[in-house]
Amino acid sequence: MDPISPLEQALHAARALVLADLVAGEVAEADVVSLVEDSVVQRRWWIEQWPEGADYVAGLVAQDVQDALLERYGRWPLCPVCGSGDPHSLDVEPELGPDPHWVCHKAGVKVAAVGSLGTATGGMASS
Ligand SMILES: [Zn+2]
């Protein structure tokens, strides 16, 4: 028997949350998904060194993917709240903490939990 460790569970959850947000933004192309995989590999090493950080992994993977996308493709995720002005991306808060959210610093609002961008952008709102 080799039960899945809490660390692996945290990594699985982080991967699923960030992928859900990529799907919501319709940017979940194969090469983008590989950016998520790269981040998960790096963060697996990181939480093996510091298991207490398991709750922080979702926010960190989201930021890793955001940074990688900015280098290759551009800003993600674009703010769905501000209707006018320059397009801008959302930021993860807390940068290092549990229960990460996407926030718009321009409007000063929490837009959605990481993993729930789909509901914030008017897609598949739950009934
Ligand atoms: Zn905004």
Return per-residue pLDDT of the chain as tens, 127 residues. 567 889 999 999 999 999 999 999 888 889 999 999 999 999 999 999 999 999 999 999 999 999 999 998 899 999 999 988 888 999 999 999 999 999 999 999 999 999 999 987 544 444 3
> What angle separates helix 57-72 from helix 6-24, to the nearest 10 degrees?
40
For residue 56, report the distance from its CA to the centre of ligand 1, in Å: 24
> What does the alpha-carbon distance between residue 79 and residue 83 come to, in Å, rounded to a whole number?
9
For residue 124, report the distance from its CA to the centre of ligand 1, in Å: 21
pLDDT at 4: 82
Tell me, yes or no, if the pTM score tops 0.85. yes
> What does the alpha-carbon distance between residue 70 and residue 51 come to, in Å, rounded to a whole number?
29
The torsion angle over the Cα atoms of residues 114, 116, 120 and 122, rounded to 10 degrees, is 150
> What does the alpha-carbon distance between residue 11 and residue 30 come to, in Å, rounded to a whole number?
19
For residue 123, report the distance from its CA to the centre of ligand 1, in Å: 18
For residue 52, report the distance from its CA to the centre of ligand 1, in Å: 32
For residue 91, report the distance from its CA to the centre of ligand 1, in Å: 10
Number of Cβ atoms within 10 Å of the Cβ of 108: 8
